[in-house]
Structure 1
Amino acid sequence: MSDSMRKLALSLLLILALFAQTGCASDTSPEPVPDAGAGTAEGYTALVPNDNQDDIDREIVRQLQENHYNKVTLDDAFSEKFFDAYLDELDGTRGVFLASDIDHLRKQYAHQLDDELKDGQTVAAFDIYNTYQKRRIQIDQWALDKIEAGIDKIDIDDDETFDVDREDAPWPANAAEREALWTKQLENQIINLKLDDLDDAEVTKRLKQRYSNELKQLRQAEPVDAFSAYMDAYTHSYDPHTDYFSPRRSEDFSIDMNLQLQGIGAELRNKNGYAELVRLIPGGPAAKSGKLKPTDRITAVGQGNKGEFTDVVGMRLDETVQLIRGKKGSTVRLQISPADNSQSKTITLVRDKIELKDQAARKQVIELERDGQKVDVGLITLPSFYNGTADDVKKLLQELKKNEHLAGVILDLRNNGGGALGEAMKLTGLFMNSVPAVQIRDAEGKVQVLGDRNDGPVYDGPLAVMTNRLSASASEIVAGALQDYGRAIVLGSQTFGKGTVQTLLPLSEGQIKLTQAKFYRVSGKSTQDRGVTPDINFPPVIDPEKIGESALPNALPWDTIKPTAYPYSDEIVQLLTQLKKEHVERVANDPDYQYRIKRINLAREQSQQTQVSLNLATRRAEQDELKQKSLTLANAHRKATGEEPFENYKAFEESEEDDSPAEEELSAHQSGKPDEIDAYQTESAQILLDLVQAFLADENAQPNAA
Structure 2
Amino acid sequence: MPTRLRRFTTALFFALFAVTLACSAPATERKFSTPSTLRLEIRQLLSLLEQYHYNRDAVRPASYSGVIADYMGAVDGQRLFFLASDKAAFEKRYSNNLYYNVHDLGNIDAAYEIFAVYDQRSRERIAWINEELKRDFDLTQPDSYCLDRSKAEWPETPAAADTLWRSRLKFEIGSEVLNKKTVEEAREIVRKRYERMLKNIAELEGADLAELFLTSITQLYDPHSTYMSAENFKDFDIKMKLQLVGIGAMLSMDKEDYCVVRELVPGGPADLEKSLKPNDKIIAVAQGDGEPVEVIGMKLRRIVELIRGTKGTQVRLIVQPGSATDSSTRKEISIIRDVVKLDSARAHAAVFDIPSSNGQATIPLGVISLPSFYGGESEADDGVRTSAAQDVAELITRLQAEKVQGIVLDLRRNGGGLLSEAIDLTGLFIKTGPVVQVRNFESRINVNGDEDPKIAYDGPLAVIVDRFSASASEIVAGALQNYGRAIIVGDSSTHGKGSVQQVIPMSEVLPTLLRPAGKTGAAKLTIQKFYLPSGASTQLKGVVPDIVLPSFEDYLPVGESDLPHALVWDEIPSSFFNGKPLQPTLITPLRSASQRRQETLDEFAYLKRSIEWFKQRQEQKTISLNIDDRRRQKESDDAFDKTNKAEREKIAQGAYPYREIRIVPAPPPRIKAPDEKPADESETPILDDDSDEAYPKSDVHLREALRILADALQLGQNPEVWSDPHAAPLTAQAVRR
The TM-score normalised by the length of structure 2 is 0.83
- Shift of residue 134 of structure 1? 1.6
Measured against aligned partners, the alpha-carbon deviations of 1:506-546 in whole angstroms (never above 9, x if no partner) come to 11311111111000000000011111111111122324551
After superposition, the CA RMSD in angstroms is 2.6
Letter in 1 for 2:309: G
- Shift of residue 403 of structure 1? 2.0
Partner of 1:487 in structure 2?
A: 485
* Separation of aligned partners in 1, 2:95 and 2:78: 20
* Separation of aligned partners in 2, 1:321 and 1:241: 22
- Shift of residue 77 of structure 1? 2.6
- Shift of residue 201 of structure 1? 4.9
Q: Which moved more, 1:62-71 or 1:464-473?
A: 62-71
Contact conserved, 1:41 with 1:138, CA < 8 A, in 2? no
Q: Is 1:134–2:134 an aligned residue pair?
A: no
Contact conserved, 1:599 with 1:660, CA < 8 A, in 2? no
* Separation of aligned partners in 1, 2:264 and 2:652: 31
Counterpart secondary structure, 1:519: strand
- Shift of residue 578 of structure 1? 0.9
Q: Is 1:678–2:688 an aligned residue pair?
A: no
Contact conserved, 2:555 with 2:615, CA < 8 A, in 1? no
Partner of 1:466 in structure 2?
A: 464
Partner of 1:427 in structure 2?
A: 425
Partner of 1:20 in structure 2?
A: none
Contact conserved, 2:506 with 2:521, CA < 8 A, in 1? yes
From 523, 529, 534, the counterpart of 1:518 = 529
Distance 1:253 1:470, change over 3 A: same
* Separation of aligned partners in 2, 1:617 and 1:445: 60
How does 1:348-387 map onto structure 2 within 5 Å? 348-370=334-356, 371=358, 372-387=360-375
* Separation of aligned partners in 2, 1:59 and 1:303: 43
* Separation of aligned partners in 2, 1:459 and 1:354: 31
Partner of 1:224 in structure 2?
A: 207
From 211, 221, 224, the counterpart of 1:241 = 224
Q: Is 1:416–2:392 an aligned residue pair?
A: no
Letter in 1 for 2:363: V
How does 1:382-401 map onto structure 2 within 5 Å? 382-387=370-375, 388-401=387-400
Distance 1:197 1:458, change over 3 A: same
Counterpart secondary structure, 1:465: strand
Contact conserved, 1:270 with 1:317, CA < 8 A, in 2? yes
How does 1:14-25 map onto structure 2 within 5 Å? none
Letter in 1 for 2:46: V
Measured against aligned partners, the alpha-carbon deviations of 1:401-446 in whole angstroms (never above 9, x if no partner) come to 1123x22000000000111111111100111101110000000010
Distance 1:524 1:586, change over 3 A: same
- Shift of residue 307 of structure 1? 1.1
Contact conserved, 2:249 with 2:268, CA < 8 A, in 1? yes
Distance 1:637 1:226, change over 3 A: closer
- Shift of residue 554 of structure 1? 0.8
Distance 1:476 1:609, change over 3 A: same
Q: Which moved more, 1:446-455 or 1:429-438?
A: 446-455
* Separation of aligned partners in 2, 1:165 and 1:475: 32
Distance 1:656 1:45, change over 3 A: closer
Measured against aligned partners, the alpha-carbon deviations of 1:306-344 in whole angstroms (never above 9, x if no partner) come to 211111111112111111111221111111112332422
Partner of 1:22 in structure 2?
A: none
Partner of 2:19 in structure 1?
A: none
* Separation of aligned partners in 1, 2:80 and 2:683: 41
- Shift of residue 303 of structure 1? 1.2
- Shift of residue 355 of structure 1? 2.2
* Separation of aligned partners in 2, 1:344 and 1:225: 31
* Separation of aligned partners in 2, 1:582 and 1:656: 37
* Separation of aligned partners in 1, 2:74 and 2:144: 26
* Separation of aligned partners in 2, 1:290 and 1:599: 20
- Shift of residue 693 of structure 1? 0.6
- Shift of residue 676 of structure 1? 4.5
- Shift of residue 264 of structure 1? 1.4
Partner of 1:687 in structure 2?
A: 708
Partner of 1:60 in structure 2?
A: 45
* Separation of aligned partners in 2, 1:116 and 1:640: 63
Measured against aligned partners, the alpha-carbon deviations of 1:629-652 in whole angstroms (never above 9, x if no partner) come to 222334455567889xxxxxxx99
- Shift of residue 486 of structure 1? 0.5
Contact conserved, 1:44 with 1:137, CA < 8 A, in 2? no
- Shift of residue 681 of structure 1? 0.9
Letter in 2 for 1:390: A
Letter in 2 for 1:43: T
Partner of 1:546 in structure 2?
A: 557
Letter in 1 for 2:432: S
Unpaired runs of 5+ residues, structure 1, are 1-39, 644-650
Identical amino acids, percent of aligned pairs:
35
Q: Is 1:262–2:245 an aligned residue pair?
A: yes
Letter in 1 for 2:145: F
Counterpart secondary structure, 2:553: coil
Counterpart secondary structure, 1:352: coil
* Separation of aligned partners in 1, 2:653 and 2:418: 46
Contact conserved, 2:434 with 2:450, CA < 8 A, in 1? yes
Distance 1:656 1:681, change over 3 A: farther
* Separation of aligned partners in 1, 2:319 and 2:622: 20
Partner of 2:269 in structure 1?
A: 285
Contact conserved, 1:72 with 1:238, CA < 8 A, in 2? no
Measured against aligned partners, the alpha-carbon deviations of 1:438-494 in whole angstroms (never above 9, x if no partner) come to 000000010001112223211000000010011111000000000011000000011
* Separation of aligned partners in 2, 1:166 and 1:155: 23
Distance 1:572 1:399, change over 3 A: farther
The TM-score normalised by the length of structure 1 is 0.87
Unpaired runs of 5+ residues, structure 2, are 1-24, 376-386, 508-519, 655-676, 729-737
**Greater helix fraction, Structure 1 or Structure 2:** 1
How does 1:168-179 map onto structure 2 within 5 Å? 168-179=151-162
* Separation of aligned partners in 2, 1:122 and 1:640: 58
* Separation of aligned partners in 1, 2:725 and 2:445: 43
